[in-house]
């Protein structure tokens, strides 16, 4: 029987713990169960996840939370022998300040993931394989051997079987041509309860954009929510079709916009997906009856689509949008600061806080976590938040990858790369184009933000709001609301948006 085996031995890392006596050492052997042998491809990225808690699987922890650590390395097997042996110093990218020869004392839960899916950008994707979780007691013992077995193949996504739910898939000529391979765009459709009973009726439409990385299969959760589906099938629910867009792109979330790196996702949405869906599902198809909404990433995308394609949408409902100005990219001034990691007082910038202001992790920690996730050993290819922002906003580099807007280890900002970001700065876009854009936006902008947004997103929106209130010819009628002591997306709900759209259509 062939075995896929990886021996992980001691290696060097970024920092070493000060107390060398309070440590254990271990090596790790990863094998594939016999059921998984034929499912494994020889090339991939191996992740080893550590957590000091068994409350959930370590593979769901990114390394930014307290007590979780990630190690990762690209591996290539010989075509003659699928056994991979990693030498004594594989120099894995990691979020930890220790290596396997100096594990701080404690109890850890360890899990391996083999990422071999080249079509999706994150490790917990269909076609990848993960191991059982093994307990490691770092009690000062040396040369412990920990065995992990890759047992479970992550299954393909599927849309729930329900009479009001439809799956949509379209091969995009635009994206396929750009990426030189067949590219499919996906969506799911939630039909109103009266759809089948009124075969000649046409409907308004709502395009919903997910939070970061959200997939079209999120419709499953809505349909399985009994409170929502009871309302949706009642006489009180509006007769509106909802289209759930898919967030996946080559470098993480596509943000539904054209990019030098990911391709023409905006043009594909406007020129390919929307016309086909609206023809197939009896949608009215006018600007006045087409809306877009979302929260977080979806909040930014919905606002961006309304601003960049003002003639395509009749209104946006944007909740807690990502930074709408890069003068306030969370707490970074991308145009004037020297580094993304350290503020002008010499302190590490937090990336997340609770509504009372208590930070939970820093931008540096977040980026170092993404460095482990990227096949380039940098956040540029992580498939996660900073990688996706960078892929959308930055130019393409000579190596074919997005140019890093800041150094993945030091955080030093590349001003040349950031110059390219201005194209996607929504505040700049509105300021530069208000004379022609302003009249097209009247009655179309609704934004909500918690004033204690967990990711400091209210800061940029305050600047956006100030400008919108200053506009003339026309004076903007955008509704931008801030709620004190509210966090990220805390007031967002699908029902609330649907009822707001219904009120607009009356």
pLDDT in the model for residue 427: 98
The pLDDT value recorded for residue 90 is 58
Query: Between the CA of residue 441 and those of 205, 208, 257, what are the distances in Å?
Result: 18, 19, 19
pLDDT above 70: percentage of residues in the chain: 93
**How many CA atoms does the CB half-sphere of 254 hold within 13 Å?**
25
Choice between 98 and 165, residue whose per-residue pLDDT is larger = 165
Residue 104 reports pLDDT greater than 90: yes
- pLDDT (average), residues 331-340: 98
Q: Chain-wide mean pLDDT for the chain? A: 91
> Rounded to two decimals, what is the model's pTM?
0.93
User: Could you report the per-residue pLDDT of 262-295, keeping only the tens digit for each?
Assistant: 999 999 999 999 999 999 999 999 999 999 999 9
Phi, psi of 467 (to 5 degrees): -65, -45
Q: Which of 71, 66, 63, 68 is nearest to 112 (CA)?
A: 71
CB 384 within 8 A of CB 373: yes
pLDDT tens digits, 405-449: 999 999 999 999 999 999 999 999 999 999 999 999 999 999 999
Q: Is residue 80 pLDDT above 60, yes or no?
A: no
- Long-range residue pairs from 412-419, CB within 8 A, at least 24 positions apart, any chain: 412/338, 412/339, 413/334, 413/337, 413/338, 413/339, 413/340, 418/326, 418/334, 418/335
Considering the segment(s) 165-325+438-505 as one domain, its CATH architecture is 3-Layer(aba) Sandwich (3.40)
Residues sharing a CB contact under 8 Å with residue 400, sequence separation 6 or more, in sequence order = none
Taking alpha carbons only, the member of 484, 488, 424, 479 closest to residue 456 is: 488
Q: Mean pLDDT over residues 240-265, rounded? A: 97
For the chain, the structural domain boundaries read 5-153, 165-325+438-505, 338-424
What's the confidence (pLDDT) of residue 483? 98
**pLDDT tens sequence across 460-501:** 999 999 999 999 999 999 999 999 999 999 999 999 999 999
Q: How confident is the model at residue 14 (pLDDT cuts 50, 70, 90)?
A: very low
Q: Is the pLDDT of residue 6 over 50?
A: no
Give me the pLDDT at residue 157, please.
Answer: 94
- Where is average pLDDT lowest: 89-103, 214-228, 304-318, 355-369? 89-103
pLDDT of residue 41 exceeding 70: yes
pLDDT value at 63 more than 70: yes
Residue 96: which H helix or E strand, with range? Answer: none
Residue 329: C-alpha distances to residues 349, 418, 429 (Å):
11, 12, 16
Q: What integer is the mean pLDDT of 311-334? A: 98
Lowest average pLDDT, out of 50-64, 292-306, 443-457, 487-501, goes to 50-64
The whole-number average pLDDT for the span 213-225 is 96
Reference 411, options 338, 345, 361, 323; nearest CA is: 338
Percent of the chain with pLDDT over 90: 81
CB 421 within 8 A of CB 336: no
Q: What pLDDT does 32 receive?
A: 79
- pLDDT grade for 258, boundaries at 50, 70 and 90: very high
Lowest-confidence region among 24-38, 209-223, 353-367: 24-38
**The pLDDT of residue 89:** 52
Give the model's confidence band at 354: pLDDT under 50 very low, under 70 low, under 90 confident, else very high: very high
* Region of poorest pLDDT, from 32-36, 66-70, 101-105: 32-36
Residue range 116-155, pLDDT digits in tens: 998 898 999 999 999 999 999 999 888 888 888 889 999 9
Continuous segment of H or E residues that includes residue 358: none
pLDDT of residue 39: 80
**Read out DSSP for 179-243?**
HTS--EEEEEEE--TTTTT-TT--B-EEEEE-STT--GGGHHHHHH-HHHHHHHTSTTS---EEE
Average pLDDT of the segment spanning 392-406 = 98
Query: Is the confidence at residue 1, as pLDDT, over 60?
Result: no
**pLDDT band of 77, cuts 50, 70, 90:** low
Residue 36 has pLDDT above 50, yes or no: yes
Residue 224 CA to residue 157 CA, distance in Å, equals 16
């Amino acid at each position: 029987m062939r075995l896929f085996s990886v021996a992980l031995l001691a290696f060097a890392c970024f920092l070493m713990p000060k107390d060398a006596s309070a440590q254990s050492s271990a090596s790790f052997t990863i094998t594939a169960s016999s059921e998984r042998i034929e499912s494994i491809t020889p090339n991939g990225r191996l992740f080893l996840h550590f957590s000091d808690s068994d409350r959930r699987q370590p593979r769901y922890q990114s390394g930014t939370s307290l007590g979780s650590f990630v190690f990762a390395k690209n591996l290539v097997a010989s075509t003659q022998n699928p056994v991979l042996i990693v030498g004594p110093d594989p120099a894995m990218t990691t979020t930890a300040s220790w290596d396997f020869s100096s594990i701080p004392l404690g109890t850890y839960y360890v899990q391996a993931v083999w990422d071999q899916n080249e079509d999706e950008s994150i490790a917990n994707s269909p076609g990848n394989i993960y191991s059982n979780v093994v307990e490691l007691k770092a009690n000062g013992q040396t040369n412990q051997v920990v065995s992990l077995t890759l047992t479970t193949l992550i299954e393909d996504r599927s849309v729930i079987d329900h009479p009001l739910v439809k799956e949509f898939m379209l091969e995009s000529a635009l994206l396929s041509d750009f990426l030189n391979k067949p590219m499919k765009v996906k969506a799911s459709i939630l039909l109103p309860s009266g759809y089948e009973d009124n075969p000649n009726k046409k409907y308004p439409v709502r395009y919903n954009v997910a939070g970061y990385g959200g997939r079209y299969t999120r419709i499953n959760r809505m349909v399985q929510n009994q409170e929502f589906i009871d309302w949706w099938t009642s006489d009180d629910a509006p007769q509106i079709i909802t289209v759930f867009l898919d967030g996946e792109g080559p470098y993480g979330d596509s943000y539904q916009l054209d990019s030098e790196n990911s391709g023409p996702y905006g043009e594909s949405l406007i020129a390919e997906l929307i016309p086909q869906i609206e023809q197939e599902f009896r949608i009215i198809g006018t600007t006045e009856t087409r809306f877009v909404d979302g929260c977080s990433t979806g909040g930014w995308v919905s606002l961006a689509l309304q601003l960049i394609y003002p003639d395509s949408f009749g209104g946006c409902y944007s909740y807690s949008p990502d930074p709408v100005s890069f003068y306030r990219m969370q707490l970074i001034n991308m145009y004037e600061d020297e580094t993304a990691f350290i503020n002008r007082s010499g302190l590490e910038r937090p990336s997340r806080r609770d509504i009372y202001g208590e930070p939970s992790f820093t931008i540096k920690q977040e980026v170092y976590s993404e460095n482990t996730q990227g096949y380039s050993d940098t956040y540029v290819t992580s498939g996660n938040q900073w990688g996706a922002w960078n892929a959308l906003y930055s130019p393409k580099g000579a190596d074919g990858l997005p140019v890093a807007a800041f150094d993945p280890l030091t955080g030093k900002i590349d001003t040349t790369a950031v110059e390219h970001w201005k194209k996607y700065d929504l505040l700049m876009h509105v300021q530069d184009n208000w004379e022609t854009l302003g009249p097209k936006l009247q009655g179309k902008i609704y934004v909500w933000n918690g004033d204690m947004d967990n990711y400091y997103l209210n800061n940029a929106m305050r600047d956006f709001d100030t400008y919108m209130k200053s506009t003339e010819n026309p004076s903007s009628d955008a509704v931008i609301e801030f709620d004190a002591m509210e966090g990220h997306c805390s007031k967002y709900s699908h029902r609330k948006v649907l009822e707001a759209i219904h009120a607009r259509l009356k």
